[in-house]
Amino acid sequence: MKGFKQFILRGNVLDLAVAVVMGAAFTAVVTAMVKDLLTPLVGALVGQPDFSALTVDVNGSKLLIGDFMNAVIAFLMLAAAVYFFIVLPVNTLVARMRRGEAAPDPTTKKCPECMSEVAIAARRCAFCTSALT
């Protein structure tokens, strides 16, 4: 039981469990936004937000093209909502936070002879063996 306890209480297991729970809760929020806000907006612009009535009969089998179109449209709206309302603002915020940071010191330099990347401390190029200043 001691090994199992150590496994369960490791940080990455708990972090993953929290991430799964938060992801499920967040999924409900994003799904509700797409279903309750974006889909009616598309319906107001296009006129019919539900394509499930579209079918094609092939040898007595019904191909539910409308259901497939609904799924594709819902996926695209969900992806757009996640990108424009979450990813883009977070990336902008992170870029603003890093605006004042200095760039890290370089760890490599270019060889003047062969233009290969070599370590800063190198005195000879590992590729063309020319002496570096």
Q: In whole angstroms, give the CA distance from residue 92 to residue 3.
A: 43
Predicted confidence at residue 125, as pLDDT, reads 92
Q: What is the pTM of this model?
A: 0.52
Distance CA 67, CA 54 (A): 8
Q: Are strands 56-58 and 61-63 parallel, antiparallel or unpaired?
A: antiparallel
User: In the prediction, which pLDDT does 11 show?
Assistant: 66
- Tell me what pLDDT residue 58 has: 92
Domain boundaries, the chain: 2-97, 104-133
Domain 2-97 listed as CATH 1.10.1200.120: yes
The whole-angstrom separation of Cα 76 and Cα 45 is 16
The H or E element that residue 108 is part of is: strand 108-110
pLDDT at 67: 83
Q: Which runs of E-coded beta strand occur in 56-103?
A: 56-58, 61-63
* Separation between Cα atoms, residue 113 and residue 111, nearest integer Å: 5
Task: Determine the pLDDT at residue 124.
Answer: 92
Q: Could you list the pLDDT tens digit for every one of the 133 residues in the chain?
A: 888 777 766 767 777 887 888 888 888 887 788 778 877 787 788 777 677 788 899 999 999 988 888 888 888 888 888 889 888 998 999 888 888 888 888 899 999 999 999 999 999 998 999 998 7
Q: CA dihedral defined by 108, 114, 115, 116, rounded to 10 degrees?
A: -40
Q: How far is residue 35's CA from residue 38's CA, in Å, rounded to a whole number?
A: 6
Tell me how far apart the alpha carbons of residues 39 and 31 are, in angstroms, rounded to a whole number: 10
